[in-house]
């Protein structure tokens, strides 16, 4: 197991290096003037000043040298300070966010992480449960209903479903509003008497003994969670059902039944643990997708997370901000793949022995 983990860790820097190469190549599609926004916030419009900035930050140097400067930073020939450098957390300045890209990511990340935290349990719990029930009741009405549910979920665009639930539960019933907090409670969390421990509205509300803010924060997350869950349930249901049906046909399940074990024990102790191995991989990547920020869902419900910030940057052609989010998402996905690989090896010894 240790050797398996070491092999995966050794591949991690190479993978991240490959990602930085691809992102830098996309950055090269911009001209030197646009790339100077990595170092200066206000780009001068006089020709001599522009040429001076390009020379000052080496944007006219060979590509390999520009890549190195972008990756680790470059010493400013005037101030003597190290400027830029993705490895130092400097992705440039965001025009749409009016702040450095890394600050925009850190500002929006808690909202997306809180939404992901509350979405994980219904997405994985309900999706896996539906898949197991469909497989155990193969070709019965429950299975047929689950299959229809999965097909509809696959074919139903998330923006259509989101707009539909927004129309019903907000426009007509006024139950679950968009946004992250109502105006009244949004002002309350900014007051001096309210301590921000985690930047998660629900958790901070409980720690500050403000049940009213907690309930309001949950009300604003119900519809985004429902939209994310419905789309994810279709995938998890299908994978869990297929994996569970395959496990139920294995010889060890037949042997367990021949020994006289109860069907409930056969499913819970023999079939389900083996069937959940591929489900664990999909579940891990689903969680990462939530942390990356779901662009459509956050945009529809005016939820101020990473996804909506990415959409706003793309709509304004703020390329540096978009590439900063791409770098963040790619790094998160690579780390998540490492965790999933290790978890998969724990669940299936054949993987780490191969």
- Please state the rounded mean pLDDT for residues 228-253: 83
Residue 352 confidence (pLDDT) above 60: no
- Please state the rounded mean pLDDT for residues 179-205: 88
Helix (H, G, I), strand (E, B) or coil at 100: strand
Helix (H, G, I), strand (E, B) or coil at 294: coil
- Same-domain check for residues 78 and 119: no
**Both structure tokens of 54:** 């390009």
Percent of the chain with pLDDT over 70: 92
Residue 354 confidence (pLDDT) above 70: no
The b-or-e profile of 79-99 (16+ CB within 10 A means b, else e) is eeeebbbbeeebbbbbbbbee
**Both structure tokens of 139:** 């070709």
> Using one digit for the tens of pLDDT, what is the confidence trace for 313-327?
888 888 888 888 888
Q: What is the pLDDT of residue 186?
A: 86
Residue 129 to residue 149: CA distance in whole angstroms:
14
CB 171 within 8 A of CB 177: no
Q: What is the pLDDT of residue 223?
A: 92
- Same-domain check for residues 169 and 186: yes
What average pLDDT does the structure give for the chain?
82
Q: What is the pLDDT of residue 222?
A: 92
- Higher-confidence position of 84 and 127: 127
**φ and ψ at residue 77, rounded to 5 degrees:** -70, -15
- Same-domain check for residues 250 and 323: yes
Q: How confident is the model at residue 221 (pLDDT cuts 50, 70, 90)?
A: very high
- Same-domain check for residues 147 and 24: no
- Higher-confidence position of 98 and 292: 98
Domain range holding 52? 2-91
Residue 143 confidence (pLDDT) above 90: no
- Same-domain check for residues 64 and 130: no
CB 59 within 8 A of CB 67: no
- Same-domain check for residues 75 and 121: no
Q: What's the CATH number where 149 sits?
A: 1.10.3720.10
* Domain final position from 44, 69, 91: 91
Q: What is the pLDDT of residue 141?
A: 87
- Please state the rounded mean pLDDT for residues 147-157: 80
Residue 351 confidence (pLDDT) above 60: no
Least confident of 1-15, 137-151, 192-206, 226-240: 1-15
* Domain final position from 46, 70, 91: 91
- Same-domain check for residues 311 and 251: yes
- The model carries a pTM of 0.82
* Domain final position from 72, 91, 110: 91
- How many independent structural domains does the chain possess? 2
- Same-domain check for residues 230 and 291: yes
Q: How confident is the model at residue 220 (pLDDT cuts 50, 70, 90)?
A: very high
- Same-domain check for residues 247 and 119: yes
Percent of the chain with pLDDT over 90: 6
Q: What is the pLDDT of residue 214?
A: 93
Residue 32 confidence (pLDDT) above 60: yes
- Same-domain check for residues 46 and 124: no
Residue 8 to residue 334: CA distance in whole angstroms:
11
Q: What is the pLDDT of residue 349?
A: 62
Helices (H), 197-318: 201-207, 211-248, 251-258, 263-266, 272-291, 295-300, 306-315
Q: What is the DSSP letter of 176?
A: S
- Same-domain check for residues 82 and 103: no
Q: What is the pLDDT of residue 350?
A: 59
- Same-domain check for residues 70 and 146: no
- Please state the rounded mean pLDDT for residues 126-143: 86
Q: Which of 91-95, 161-165, 261-265, 266-270 has the highest mean pLDDT?
A: 161-165
């Amino acid at each position: 197991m240790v050797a398996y983990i070491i092999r995966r860790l050794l591949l991690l820097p190479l993978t991240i290096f490959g990602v930085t190469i691809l992102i830098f190549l996309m950055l090269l599609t911009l001209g030197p003037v646009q790339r100077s926004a990595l170092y200066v916030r206000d780009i001068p419009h006089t020709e001599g000043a522009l040429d001076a900035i390009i020379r000052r930050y080496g944007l006219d140097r060979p590509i390999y040298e520009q890549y190195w400067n972008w990756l680790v930073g470059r010493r400013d020939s005037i101030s003597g300070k190290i400027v830029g450098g993705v490895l130092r957390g400097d992705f440039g300045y965001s025009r749409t966010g009016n702040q450095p890209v890394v600050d925009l990511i850190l500002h929006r990340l808690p909202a997306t992480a809180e939404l992901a935290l509350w979405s994980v349990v219904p997405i994985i719990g309900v999706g896996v449960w539906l898949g197991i029930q469909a497989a155990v009741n193969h070709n019965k009405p429950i299975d047929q209903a689950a299959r229809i549910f999965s097909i509809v979920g696959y074919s139903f665009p998330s923006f259509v479903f989101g707009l539909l639930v927004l129309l019903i539960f907000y426009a007509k019933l006024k139950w679950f509003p968009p946004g992250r907090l109502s105006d009244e409670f949004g002002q309350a969390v900014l007051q001096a008497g309210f301590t921000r421990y985690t930047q998660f509205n629900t958790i901070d509300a409980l720690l500050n003994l403000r049940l009213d803010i907690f309930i309001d924060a949950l009300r604003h997350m119900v519809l985004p969670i429902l939209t994310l869950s419905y789309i994810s349930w279709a995938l998890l249901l299908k994978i869990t059902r297929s994996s569970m049906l395959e496990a139920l046909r294995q010889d060890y399940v037949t042997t367990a039944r021949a020994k006289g074990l109860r069907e409930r024990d056969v499913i819970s102790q023999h079939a389900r643990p083996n069937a959940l191995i591929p489900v664990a991989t999909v579940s891990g990547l689903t969680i990462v997708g939530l942390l990356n920020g779901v662009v459509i869902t956050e945009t529809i419900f005016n939820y101020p997370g990473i996804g909506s910030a990415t959409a706003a940057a793309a709509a304004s052609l703020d390329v540096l901000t978009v590439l900063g989010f791409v770098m963040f998402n790619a790094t998160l996905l690579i780390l998540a793949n490492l965790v999933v690989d290790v978890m998969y090896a724990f669940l299936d010894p054949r993987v780490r022995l191969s």
